[in-house]
């Protein structure tokens, strides 16, 4: 969601605004005292659909229209007088007090509650979503969502705008850190768990950006072309799984066009697929400024416009009065929003502002960061470090003395006290600034190794860093690659000559450990020179503590990559970054510019001719070697696989044994892949399931993974359905997409 300034038209008459505002102010006080128990739809034993239908019958046309759009955004666009009770978040929809319907208070909350500073509240920054995906842990994903839900409620919000699930089709996408990797089964099941945890807190969940919003550059103008079968088996499958797993109450349509139509007025996406094929009962809201029409968008299935009312205010009302938008169509939009509110509990259990559990939030954030940090290299057992045997430690890298970086854009969480690299009181958390959280690797390492001499060098002068490294037993180099909404990366290299810094430090000290603070894959021309590499991602509010616990062995790493790390951009399906004439222009603020966007910028075409071959499927099919494969990650122990047995049936069961062959306890993500019959014409294999197995040293466990038949099927466009082809299916089990020691073929009907 962008944070450009939107100039909102005042679409209701001044008189209507004043009347509604007065009613809202007076009735809200009455409702606070009396509650909504006097209404027949307050009976929670009724279904959400029954309750919503009752309310719709009592609503006036103006009340219905008010529910279908936002009222502006603090600091980004003029606010409607109706927004007097806005909590300062990204979106606000006034309630209908006379009917007992509360307002909808929306917050960007991808990896924590954004804009907390607007309402004087604290927010925990969790590790970036991609780090959560790297845990491959559905329980951790549930707690990820539950924490965000609790903190949303504590700040007075009842709807999240997180839930990003766009596949890493293009790893240079500026929002990769907000998403959950390159595989639809992994991403779909993980976002489903996040949404379940969040909605259990009585907060409306949202999955986005629907659909095929896989690049940021030119996102308002790009038209995505892709074979429909490939779309259904990749990006769209992730959304389908996520919704089936969670029953998320909202879906946000994206900026881009798909098959020629904007996603927010695309009947195939919103109605034919989402609402009919997938039986989605929630509501569709636009990305901020992503609405382009009233009648076409309404007919296509878009239910709600944000952040203001360019189209779903006066224009939609007039269309309803003229009969060009049927009353039944209008009522369906309203019903879906009300149903979402009843289904998630925001009507029966509205949020009350309270004190955020800071300590509890930090504990969860640290735990997930520890589970999401991927050990990529560990030559000669360099890690874990033994604090009792190391006397001199060099900590090197930009700002590693004070903090760790976070991802930018609408996901940006406000750090307590502001941006740690700014002077006190001047911490800038603008959505496209580099923001560093006050979690200090240097302090954490010193606390972990109190008997060692721990010295710091920023690396700004490589010669100084090299001198420190030479004089140390081990050199730990913290490097970063910053990403943000609104822009794509030019390449996957580390910026600001950090590759050169690592190479020089490694040449001076063979015991060099590299800690990566990134939101996507990076290239590593120095990888053969260093002894260890730890991918920490954007590690959140307690990232330094988590990283230090992994480095010193208090935590045994168990994470696996949710995306492939290629050797170079030349190996990507589209090695050249598309650079449209108008990219992310920070001054997309004037009303006329937004009207140009809304009425149609000339599209440029992007064809995903790799189709279903996203991530590891591309590298497998094209026989390209990679730097680190999908599903890969090391541990401080080792694992062995044996005794594979596949039991055919409606839901095939894959049973095998995992043994911890080392001395210390750990957790292994045991991955199950399948190859389809040749007639399917699919890539060599696809992920169909996994299990994260906790084992003590020397312990063995039998594991069974039940495979959803859809994950073994192809999408038959002609019959608009999933098809399991008869034939031989190969099942493969192991610790990564390229380490699958167990294989068995079975015939499925």
Give the pLDDT confidence of 530-558 residue by residue, as tens digits. Answer: 999 999 999 999 999 999 999 999 999 99
User: Running along the chain, 749 residues long, what does each successive block of 10 average in pLDDT?
Assistant: 36 38 41 58 96 98 97 70 83 96 96 75 94 98 98 96 96 97 98 98 98 92 95 98 98 97 98 98 96 97 95 97 98 98 97 93 97 98 97 98 95 86 64 87 98 98 98 98 93 97 98 98 98 98 97 98 97 80 37 47 86 97 98 98 97 98 98 98 98 98 98 97 97 98 96
Residue partners of 75: CB distance under 8 A and separation at least 6: 118
* β-pair type (257-258, 222-225): parallel
Question: What tens digit of pLDDT does each residue of 210-244 get?
Answer: 999 999 988 998 999 999 999 999 999 999 999 99
- Nearest CA to 484 out of 542, 427, 406 is that of 406
Residue with tokens 């790009």: 222
Phi and psi, residue 551, nearest 5°: -60, -35
Reading the block at residue 309, the tokens are: 């009312």
- Cα gap 555→539, rounded to integer Å: 15
The SS3 call for residue 485 is coil
- Cα gap 434→415, rounded to integer Å: 12
- Nearest CA to 128 out of 190, 206, 73 is that of 190
Longest dimension (CA), the chain: 81
* Domains of the chain by start residue, with CATH: 35-344 (3.20.20.300), 373-551 (3.40.50.1700), 637-748 (2.60.40.10)
Residue 80: per-residue pLDDT: 82
Residue 74: per-residue pLDDT: 61
- Cα gap 564→616, rounded to integer Å: 6
Neighbours of 334 (CB within 10 A): 22
- Cα gap 332→283, rounded to integer Å: 9
Residue 38: per-residue pLDDT: 84
- DSSP letter string over 666-733? EEEEEEEEEE--GGG---S-EEEEEEEEEE-TT-EEEEEEEPPGGGG-EEETTTTEEE--SEEEEEEE
- For 544-560, letters b (16+ CB in 10 Å) and e give bbbbbbbbbbebbbbbb
Handedness of CA 513, 517, 521, 523 (dihedral sign): negative
- Cα gap 565→625, rounded to integer Å: 10
Residue 427: per-residue pLDDT: 53
Residue with tokens 């019903």: 335
Reading the block at residue 130, the tokens are: 């991609």
Query: 247: number of CA atoms within 13 Å, CB side?
Result: 10
Residue with tokens 């329980």: 139
- Nearest CA to 444 out of 515, 499, 379, 512 is that of 515
- Cα gap 528→532, rounded to integer Å: 10
Residue 27: per-residue pLDDT: 40
Residue 7: per-residue pLDDT: 34
Question: The whole model's pTM is what?
Answer: 0.93
β strands within 459-537, DSSP E: 474-480, 512-517, 532-535
């Amino acid at each position: 969601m962008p944070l450009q300034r939107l100039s909102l038209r005042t679409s209701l008459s001044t008189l209507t605004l004043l009347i509604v505002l007065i009613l809202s102010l007076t009735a809200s006080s009455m409702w606070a005292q009396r509650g909504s128990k006097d209404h027949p739809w307050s009976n929670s034993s009724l279904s959400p659909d029954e309750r919503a239908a009752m309310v719709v019958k009592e609503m006036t046309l103006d009340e219905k229209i008010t529910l279908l759009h936002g009222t502006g955004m603090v600091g980004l666009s003029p606010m409607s007088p109706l927004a007097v009770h806005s909590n300062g978040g990204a979106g606000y929809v006034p309630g209908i007090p006379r009917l007992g319907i509360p307002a909808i208070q929306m917050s960007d909350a991808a990896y924590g509650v954004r804009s907390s500073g607007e309402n004087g509240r604290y927010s925990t920054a969790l590790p970036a979503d991609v780090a959560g995906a790297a845990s491959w842990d559905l329980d951790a994903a549930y707690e990820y969502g539950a924490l965000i839900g609790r903190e949303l409620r504590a700040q007075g919000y009842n709807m999240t705008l997180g839930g990003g699930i766009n596949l890493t089709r293009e790893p240079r996408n500026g929002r990769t850190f907000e998403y959950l990797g390159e595989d639809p089964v992994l991403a779909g099941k993980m976002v489903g768990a996040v949404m379940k945890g969040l909605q259990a807190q009585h907060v409306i969940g949202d999955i986005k950006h629907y659909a095929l919003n896989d690049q940021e550059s030119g996102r308002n103008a790009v038209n995505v072309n892709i074979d429909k079968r490939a779309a259904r088996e990749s990006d769209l499958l992730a959304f389908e799984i996520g919704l089936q797993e969670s029953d998320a109450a909202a879906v946000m349509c994206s900026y881009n066009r798909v098959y020629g139509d904007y996603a927010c007025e695309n009947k195939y996406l919103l109605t034919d697929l989402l609402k009919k094929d997938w039986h989605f009962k929630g509501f569709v809201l636009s990305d901020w400024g992503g609405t382009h029409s009233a009648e076409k968008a309404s007919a296509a299935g878009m239910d709600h416009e944000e952040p203001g009312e360019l189209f779903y205010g006066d224009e939609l009302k007039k269309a309803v009065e003229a009969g060009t938008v049927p009353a039944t169509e209008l009522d369906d939009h309203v019903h879906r929003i009300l149903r979402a509110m009843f289904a998630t509990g925001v009507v029966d259990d509205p949020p009350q502002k309270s004190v955020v559990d800071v300590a509890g939030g930090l504990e969860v954030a640290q735990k997930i960061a520890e589970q999401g940090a991927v050990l990529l290299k560990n030559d000669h057992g360099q890690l874990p470090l033994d604090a009792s045997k190391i006397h001199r430690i060099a900590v090197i890298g930009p700002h590693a003395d004070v903090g760790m970086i976070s991802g930018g854009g609408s996901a940006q969480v406000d750090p307590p006290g502001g941006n740690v690299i700014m002077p006190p009181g001047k911490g800038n958390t603008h959505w496209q600034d580099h923001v560093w959280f006050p979690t200090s690797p240097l302090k954490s390492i010193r606390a972990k190794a109190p008997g060692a001499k721990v010295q710091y060098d920023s690396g700004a002068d490589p010669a100084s860093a090299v001198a420190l490294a030479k004089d140390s037993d081990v050199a730990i180099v913290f490097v970063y690659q910053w990403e943000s909404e609104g822009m794509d990366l030019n390449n996957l290299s580390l910026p600001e000559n950090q590759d050169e810094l690592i190479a020089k430090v490694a040449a001076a000290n063979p015991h060099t450990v590299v800690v990566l603070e990134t939101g996507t894959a990076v290239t590593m021309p120095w990888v053969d020179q260093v002894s260890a590499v730890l991918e920490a991602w954007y590690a959140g509010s307690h990232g330094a503590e988590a990283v230090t616990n992994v480095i010193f062995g208090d935590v045994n790493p168990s994470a696996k990559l949710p995306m492939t790390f290629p050797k170079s951009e030349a190996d990507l399906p589209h090695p050249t970054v598309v650079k449209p004439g108008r990219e992310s222009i920070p001054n997309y603020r004037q009303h006329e510019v937004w009207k140009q966007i809304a009425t149609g910028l000339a599209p440029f075409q992007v064809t995903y001719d790799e189709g279903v071959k996203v991530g590891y499927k591309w590298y497998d099919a094209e026989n390209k070697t990679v730097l680190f494969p999908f599903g890969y990650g090391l541990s401080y122990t080792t694992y062995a696989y044996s005794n594979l047995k596949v039991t055919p049936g409606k839901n095939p069961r894959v049973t095998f044994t995992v043994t911890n062959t080392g001395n210390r306890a750990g957790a292994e993500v045991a991955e199950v892949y399948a190859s389809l019959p040749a007639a399917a014409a699919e890539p060599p294999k696809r992920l169909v399931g996994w299990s994260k197995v906790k084992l003590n040293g020397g312990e063995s466990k039998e594991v069974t993974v039940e495979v959803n038949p859809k994950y073994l099927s192809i999408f038959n466009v002609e019959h608009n359905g999933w098809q399991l082809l008869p034939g031989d299916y190969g099942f493969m089990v192991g610790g990564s997409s390229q380490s699958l020691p167990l294989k068995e073929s079975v015939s499925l009907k």
